[in-house]
Amino acid sequence: MSKPTDLVQGTLDLLILKILALEPMHGWAISQRLKQMSSEVLQVSDGSLYPALHKLEQEGWITSEWKPSENNRRAKFYSLTRFGKKKLDKEAANWSRLSAAITHVLKLTEA
């Protein structure tokens, strides 16, 4: 198996925002969802997840709340804020543009 692709800078933020746009989640669930969603291609170490979450919260894009978890233990649930929603839209649009452009270029060279 080839080495798992390192996440492009800033992509982790985008992924977290996207996941949280679906529903509020705690850190462990986010990490599980990440692995599952990206079909294990993108490897996000559990270690880098939490600093990213704290940064996003600091920036005001997500907010947190302590709630009982699925197994009835207290867990920190993150959810998207108004600003986070806007940020996600903007970043998603950016990403599409960027990947479309790259794809386009790659096709050109192959042709």
Contact positions vs another protein (CB under 8 A) = 26-28, 31-32, 45-47, 50-52, 54-55, 57-60, 66, 69, 71, 73-76, 83, 86
Under a CB-based contact definition with an 8 Å cutoff, are residues 7 and 16 in contact?
no
Under a CB-based contact definition with an 8 Å cutoff, are residues 62 and 84 in contact?
yes
Least distance (Å) from another protein to the CB of residue 36?
A: 12
Least distance (Å) from another protein to the CB of residue 108?
A: 39
Q: Which is nearer to another protein, 58 or 109 (CB)?
A: 58
Least distance (Å) from another protein to the CB of residue 24?
A: 14
- Read off φ and ψ for residue 72, nearest 5 degrees: 65, 30
Residue type, 62: I
Q: Which is nearer to another protein, 21 or 52 (CB)?
A: 52
Token couple for 43: 């490897």
Token couple for 66: 């302590």
